[in-house]
């Protein structure tokens, strides 16, 4: 009796008959293992992966902060040698030139952020609002030696710190605390005379910035600014009078 593969007309004569071992291998599920130890290792539970350790700050970030600290501390050298320190300031005070106007939102937000950071240290801060008195702007321009200046601008202990980005980076690195911690702490209570506003209504013109003279009629008041305000003598240094 002929084998089945020989009787099938679909197979070519040159096709070799299938080997019994190959047929058996296809019909059964093959599983090879070199030793009994391998079987034991497969049956054991796989250990759970350990959580990754928290990553330390990257080298690039540390270098960036260090560079920002050095740049902010060295910003004093960017002030011209013939410039002067803020009038009425000392090496035990902080002076901030800022604006309370919302005309430029970015500038207003920077000023508010810097003031919030500095107030958190509970030290005495001399806040000079250029929108309340334009003489503050002239002071700042004279200190920096240029007309175009951006706000805010910060001086700590008689040292020029810089603008908003410099203050934020110094605060992030902890260097700002080191500069401020030697300054005296401020009284938490606001000034009883101005309520912490640092300005009072001028007594001579009642805030109108105009006074009447019998010989010359109305003229500008020389005791106040264009807004009819004067610096509080109890908590702020007095600005020089206008000279005509």
Reading the block at residue 27, the tokens are: 């019909």
pLDDT at 85 (0 to 100): 77
HSE-CB for 172 with a 13 A CA cutoff: 15
Task: With a cut of 80, say whether residue 153 has pLDDT above it.
Answer: yes
- At 65, which helix (H) or strand (E)? helix 59-73
pLDDT at 102 (0 to 100): 92
Task: With a cut of 90, say whether residue 92 has pLDDT above it.
Answer: no
Q: 3-state SS string over 156-183?
A: ECCEEEECHHHHHHHHHHCHHHHHHCCC
Contact 140, 147 (CB under 8 A): no
pLDDT tens-digit series, residues 181-201: 888 876 555 688 887 788 899
- At 96, which helix (H) or strand (E)? strand 94-98
Say what the pTM is.
0.62
pLDDT band at 178 (very low <50, low <70, confident <90, very high): very high
pLDDT tens-digit series, residues 101-125: 999 999 999 999 999 999 999 888 8
Domains of the chain (ranges; CATH) run 59-180 (3.40.30.10), 192-244 (no CATH)
The Cα–Cα gap between 224 and 226 comes to 7
Contact 97, 136 (CB under 8 A): yes
pLDDT at 78 (0 to 100): 54
């Amino acid at each position: 009796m002929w084998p089945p593969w020989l009787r099938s007309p679909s197979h070519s004569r040159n096709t070799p008959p299938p080997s019994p071992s190959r047929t058996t291998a296809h019909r059964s599920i093959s599983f090879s293992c070199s030793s009994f130890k391998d079987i034991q290792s497969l049956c054991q539970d796989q250990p759970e992966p350990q959580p990754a350790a928290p990553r330390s700050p990257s080298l690039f970030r540390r270098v960036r902060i260090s560079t920002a600290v050095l740049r902010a501390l060295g910003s004093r050298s960017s002030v011209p040698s013939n410039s002067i320190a803020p009038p009425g300031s000392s090496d035990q005070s902080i002076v901030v030139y800022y604006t309370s106007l919302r005309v430029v939102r970015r500038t207003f937000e920077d000023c508010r952020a810097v003031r919030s950071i500095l107030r958190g240290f509970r030290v005495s801060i001399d806040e000079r609002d250029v929108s309340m008195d334009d003489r503050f702007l002239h002071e700042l321009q004279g200190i920096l030696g240029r007309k175009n200046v951006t706000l805010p601008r910060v001086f700590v202990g008689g040292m020029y710190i810089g603008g908003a980005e410099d203050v934020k980076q110094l605060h992030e690195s902890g260097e700002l605390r080191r500069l401020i911690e030697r300054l005296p702490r401020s009284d938490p209570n606001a000034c009883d005379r101005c309520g912490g506003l640092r300005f009072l209504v001028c007594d001579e013109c009642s805030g109108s910035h105009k006074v009447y003279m019998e010989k010359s009629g109305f003229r500008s008041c020389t005791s106040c600014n264009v807004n009819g305000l004067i610096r509080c003598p109890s908590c702020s240094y007095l600005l020089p009078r206008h000279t005509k």
